[in-house]
Structure 1
Amino acid sequence: MKIVADTGKCVGAGQCALRGPELFDQSEEDGTVVVLNSEPEGELLTKRAREAVHLCPSGALSLAE
């Protein structure tokens, strides 16, 4: 599984960084998503990645299998 982020769609809500701080951060410049770990491994990180995609209000995050 790979996390895909579209920074053009990102509105900087930060839900991803709150849900998965090991996976996501926010840009200092504009608050958009920064993917820290694009290929999470293990049950916990996979779950957090899926939750972050679901919580993203702008649909900027997706998962590629």
Structure 2
Amino acid sequence: MKIQIDESRCIAAGNCVMTGADIYDQRDEDGIVVVMDYAPEDPELQRQARAGAAICPAKVITITED
């Protein structure tokens, strides 16, 4: 699983962080979402990653399978 963020379109709503706190975080200076280090094979982290992407109001998170 690979997670990509289109930072140029992120509106810093934080919905992804609330849903996937073990995967997503926000930069302190501007609130733009970043992906934290994670174990891509962990089923719970995969669930959080997908839930965060689904709830993103700007649809800036793309998940691809390896």
Q: What are structure 1's unaligned runs of at least 5 residues?
A: none
Matched residues in 1 for 2:38 and 2:6: separation?
13
| TM-score (norm. length: structure 2) | 0.88
Q: 1:46 — aligned with what?
A: 46
Secondary structure, counterpart of 1:34 in structure 2: strand
Aligned identity (percent) is: 38
Q: Does 1:5 align with 2:5?
A: yes
Q: Do 1:2 and 1:39's aligned partners in 2 also have CA atoms closer than 8 Å?
A: no
Q: What are structure 2's unaligned runs of at least 5 residues?
A: none
| TM-score (norm. length: structure 1) | 0.89
The correspondence of residues 1-65 of structure 1 with structure 2, limited to 5 A, is: 1-37=1-37, 40-65=40-65
Q: How many matched pairs?
A: 65
Matched residues in 2 for 1:50 and 1:44: separation?
10
User: Which amino acid is the alignment partner of residue 45 of structure 2?
Assistant: L
